[in-house]
Amino acid sequence: MTELRRRMEDDMVARGLASRTRSSYLWAVSSVARFYRRSPDQISDAEAQAYLVHLLRERQLSSSTCNVVVSGLRFFYHVTLKRDRLTFDIPLSRRPGKLPVLLSREEVERLIGHAANPKFKTMLLTTYAAGLRLNEVLHLRVADVDSGRMTIRVAQGKGGQDRYTVLSARLLAALRAYWTIARPRPWLFPSDRTARPMHPTALQRAYVTAKRRAGIQKPGGIHGLRHAFATHLLEAGVDLHTIQRLLGHGHISTTTRYLQLTRHTEVGPDSPLDLLAGFAPPPQG
């Protein structure tokens, strides 16, 4: 590891940046260094801005990818190298104003039902029922599931923030059934090979496979389950501030976009999982 890389790593850790964010920022800085074949601290502000133009015009990368590069370069030059912000100004590219393609309740139920095995089924169920991001469901620990308080603790989510989200009675029943088969510890959904958290690609592929088997043609990846969580709760009458807290959004404006996707109903569940007819809780006693 070079001295510059170590300094940048230390700066990011000190500011609580998540592991995936740190990796993305390091990739952005190493990419511009490879492009100019020079150490990144020897690259001028104008050259860094020209590199961004190259990504947009020549390589035609998406706005989201370019925004990651911008954020990574800003952090490196402004925080690690302490360059004046006024002399290094790369505007973030505007993201297209597209709304996510929403899965219906029936489609969510079909998709989960077509998961390849009980482990993937439980992971997809948990992602939807608790409104989790991909990295959050992968890093759940058994101890994070609190059946006494009916909550799930999400440790170090996006932005390095902890939060609690809802634990539906139906999800708890599914997790208990999964526990009797897998007996995982400490990670709730460990990799079969390493006993560490599963690699993101494995769950992403499981989602795509289940969607294909369910005959769902709509675009989008596993994050669509989180979109469905938020929108289905809004349709059920849950208020925006509660949903903001469950999702871990820093600003209410991020949550309000789901208003454009809602179809209002009169139902009031603890979790959108309670709206899926095919996941009734087991009989008691």
The two structure tokens encoding residue 22: 């740190």
Average pLDDT value for residue range 147-151 = 96
- pLDDT value, residue 267: 46
User: pTM for this structure?
Assistant: 0.70
Q: Which position has the higher pLDDT, 59 or 246?
A: 246
Residue 170 has pLDDT above 90, yes or no: yes
Phi, psi of 245 (to 5 degrees): -65, -45
Average pLDDT value for residue range 229-250 = 92
Q: How many angstroms separate the CA atoms of 267 and 96, rounded? A: 33
Domains of the chain: 3-87 (1.10.150.130), 105-279 (1.10.443.10)
Which amino acids are annotated catalytic?
Answer: 133, 158, 223, 226, 249, 258
Phi, psi of 190 (to 5 degrees): -75, 160
Over residues 24-73, the pLDDT tens digits come to 999 999 999 999 999 999 998 889 888 988 888 888 887 778 888 989 99
Upstream peptide bond of 190 is cis (omega within 30 degrees of 0): no
Bridge partners (DSSP) of residue 187 are: 141
Upstream peptide bond of 186 is cis (omega within 30 degrees of 0): yes
